[in-house]
A and B are shown apart, each in its own frame.
Chain A
Amino acid sequence: MERLNVNLGKVKLDNPIIPASGTFGFGYEFTQFYDINILGSISIKGTTKDARFGNELPRIAECESGMINAVGLQNPGIDKVVNVELVKLKQVYNKQVISNISGFSLDEYVYCTKIMDKNDMVSILEINISCPNVKHGGMSFGTSSESAYEITKAVKAVTSKPVFIKLSPNVTDIVSIAKACEDAGADGISMINTLLGSRFDLKTGKPIIANAMGGFSGSAILPVALRMVYQVAQSVNIPVIGIGGISCASDVIEMMSAGASAVQIGAENLRNPYVCKEIIDDLPKLMDELNIKNLKDIIGRSFK
């Protein structure tokens, strides 16, 4: 359906619905629920140079209208992602994916970018400088404009594919960080990653999450994400993928009004594995009700 089409720079999507990295595995797990070819794209599980187990259990704590996770970038390492996981995905999925890349050093981001640059299944590189669940690296690269600039510059130098930088909300001024990424040549911004949070066991008083802290996501964070997308989308001239707390078609309309060119659905996939399909099915009807002809028309209408 053409009225759902959106563009992320030169990348054209059938619709703006993209499952967020870390909530959709490597995609093929969801074929038990629906045909994943209906999706705009898929942001696959965050990939690092080497295989990682991640953090000890428990990694999950429930919250009001959301959850905390501290998985810690569990993934089989980039070689297996390319040679096993993407090969498995290709058997059931005929579109391109967004490759989410994490690292613990600038060299590691560059290493993974070079490998994904050669992969035909990858349309966009999403550089995750905002993972809250790993010590050293991860979010620490995304909390200052200088390091965000440096990482962006380094990965841009080794790829011809579009580079989107995934930003953390756990900062004092997300606009200046987004601008630094744009200045360094970023082709887009993905935002927001999770908010740092904790829960404590009532009986023992100790943290529920083994890692004590984790990333808070779910519908509770939608207003935070909307506000930050609204701020950033007005300040940069590159597309923004809006992420954070989206759970239904009306949230998508809101996020695109705030300035997002496409959206990612995260935690809601975990509680309702059908949510992306439901949103894609619901959007045309909601657009009719709201007199929206094409989704493209509403991007950033809040400030335009």
Chain B
Amino acid sequence: MNKIQDYQIISNVLLAKKTYEMTLTGDFSWVKNCGQFINISIDNKFLKRPISICDFSENELVIIYKVVGYGTDFLANLKVGDSINCLIDLGNGYNLDLVNDKCLLIGGGVGVPPLYSTCKKLVEKSVKVSVVLGFTSVSDMFYVDKFKELTSDVFVSTNDGTYGDKGFVTDVIVKNNLSGMDYLTCGPEVMLKGVHKLMTGHGQLSFEARMGCGFGACMGCSCKTVSGYKRICVEGPIMQSEDLLWND
């Protein structure tokens, strides 16, 4: 299968402040793991934009993105029936075989999406899933109800206290005594760092980076880990907690 594909948009709707959910139709049988990403071409821009997969089936794929610049604004202005050109089947994804009988999912902002399909798969595997979601404010919030349909154990924090607990996801984890659990997480790096320092269970953490190619050729997104240099686009974006080194 050619790894550059055009997919037609069947839905592109505003979910929360500047945050859109786009659904694509086509052949998505190539998706191996939750937490993989696609790299989307943007008209008049040199580099593609890496966006994580939120949800997928054999013939539909959902992404969620926040408008932060030219590329995401371009996506937001696409209409149903338009197509996007993508480099597909990128990144390692979460290894759900490493998850035991219970697990905590921790998502921050636009890091929440890949945890949605992850939550679905884990629930299918009869894993007892707890979820902590963090947003800046209630206006940024999305998918809380969809997670609640999958598990009763959903905690939410907002930085300004406009919904759920005021503070960060780490405050919620401490308050509810969840720091010993195994966890899967995705969010801004500062959140990942806080989560990694706090949690004592095994973790799988999803990173983002300014990427060149997205498939391992340019070394633009390398990071240092305990087991050597890794490319966030190929050996990641999911890194294992025991492998992480932070630049302090």
How would residues 201 to 214 of chain B score, 1 for a CB under 8 Å from any chain A CB and 0 otherwise?
A: 00000000111110
Q: Is the CB of B215 within 8 A of A59?
A: no
Once A59-B210, A273-B87, A274-B4 are accepted as A-B contacts, the answer to whether A29 and B222 lie under 8 Å apart by CB is no
Q: Is A69 part of the contact surface with B, judged by Cβ < 8 Å?
A: yes
Residue of A74, A218, A273 touching B229 (CB-CB under 8 A): A74
Distance in angstroms between the alpha carbons of A218 and B2 in the assembled complex: 23
Binary flags per residue of A60-81, CB closer than 8 Å to B gives 1, else 0: 1111111101010010000000
Q: Is the CB of B221 within 8 A of A25?
A: no
- What does the 1/0 interface line of B31-57 toward A look like (CB < 8 Å)? 000000000000001111000000000
Cβ-based interface call for A30 (8 A): yes
Contact B220 A29 (CB under 8 A): no
B87 to chain A, nearest CB (A): 7
The stretch from A176-184, A253-261, A264-272 touching chain B is A264-272
How many angstroms from the CA of A222 to the CA of B49 in the assembled complex?
A: 24
> Closest Cβ of chain B: how far from A199's Cβ, in Å?
11
Cβ contact within 8 Å between B216 and A67: no
**What residues on A are CB-neighbors of B3 within 8 Å?**
32-33, 273
* A interface secondary structure, majority: loop
Chain A residues whose CB sits within 8 angstroms of the CB of B229 once the complex forms: 53, 74
B interface residues, how many (CB within 8 angstroms) = 25
Judging by beta carbons under 8 Å apart, are B215 and A29 in contact?
yes
**Shortest CB distance A281–B (Å):** 13
**A271 and B218 in contact, given A32-B3, A53-B229, A74-B229 (Cβ under 8 angstroms):** no
B4 touches A57 (CB 8 A): no
Q: Choose one: A29, A60, A64; the contact of B216 (CB below 8 Å).
A: A29
A54 at the interface (CB under 8 A from B): yes
Query: Among the listed B45, B87, B220, which residue makes an inter-chain contact with A60, where contact means beta carbons less than 8 Å apart?
Result: B220
Residues of B within 8 A of A273 (CB): 3-4, 87, 213, 215, 217
Interchain nearest-CB distance for A84 vs B (Å): 12
In the bound complex, how far is the Cα of B216 from the Cα of A33, in angstroms? 12
Chain B residues whose CB sits within 8 angstroms of the CB of A22 once the complex forms: 218-219
Q: Tell me the complex Cα distance, A132–B221, Å.
A: 18
Assess A67 versus B212: contact at CB under 8 Å? Given A60-B218, A271-B46.
Answer: yes
CB neighbours of B247 from chain A (8 A): 56
State whether the Cβ of B193 lies closer than 8 Å to any Cβ in chain A.
no
Q: Is the CB of A272 within 8 A of B4?
A: yes
User: Which parts of B163-182 form the interface with A (CB within 8 Å)?
Assistant: none
A32 touches B215 (CB 8 A): yes
Using CB atoms and an 8 Å cutoff, list the residues of chain B in contact with chain A. Answer: 2-4, 45-48, 87, 209-213, 215-224, 229, 247
Please provide the 5 A-B residue pairs with the shortest distance between their CB atoms, ordered closest to farther: A270-B213, A60-B220, A58-B210, A74-B219, A60-B212
